[in-house]
Structure 1
């Protein structure tokens, strides 16, 4: 899979397929994400960023990390560089498509239901942090297939399975199925969410 050809009659233009790409420059290679809705995301260099495509040209506005212009190549890869500095090159190659669970969960808000109280809002940030205003702290989430593991510090560890069709998830406290938890999808969140204290971690 990779960038797909545009509508019939325009075979020379390839559409950039949303997904994970290997982004290369003189200093090395790392993963970036071309998300739907023109959202450009990179966990390693997190910033509010956007991408857009016009014909065979893809422009990326990465905020403090610069602006780039890349051209879609015949093999579907992208090649170009910093706008105004063509010698400062960049390349991007398609690595894989997003799974439905990734698209739904990464950067989203949900209502968490549990056995002994009223539901409350939780958030799965694209940088891997699990956020809850009612129970704050440095907490993490990790997705494996359709199963999400939540590391909630003193509040426990949870394993839930996502149903992308119903936009719900069900599971429990790890090792204690009777202590059930359910998630109900609320809304998408920006990929980049500014954190005043700064995490300082690379997950």
Structure 2
């Protein structure tokens, strides 16, 4: 009786490679050939390890949320750092990632969320994208409603609107980064929105 064939690839490495493909091409634009080529595996191995394209996309999206998104959100809650510095560090870290040449430029989530209107995103993937889209506004709103410094500045008075303003700018910088605008040029937009909502 023969034992099962040993895997010849690292699942985490393959998953990160798939994430890069979706980041560059979106869900709809990423073909199975694109994915398996970048992952360095064949289709049977992909199906065996990750399931179909939708299942792979869900796992890649969760990987993005856990490894890219959540660590940058944590910057908002650093201790002994002013609110202005926390917000600037958080937003500029996102812009840096959007402009990073080592990954596909722009924002993975913004690109894939823009495909939702097409109706071509499967249900489970659509739900995860919608939840991820809501997360930043929820986090910013909570920050403005609970942070002592934010309350002193009156940011709690229009917490959700202020949160939406920050997220709108970050979606805009994602688009600009994908168009080739560099980080230094986008920093002015970050500084401007912080001043605009009353962070000083």
For the aligned pair, the TM-score class normalised by the smaller chain equals: under 0.3
**Whose RCO is larger (CA < 8 A, sep 6+)?**
2
Higher helix fraction (1 or 2): 2
TM-score, with length taken from structure 2:
0.27
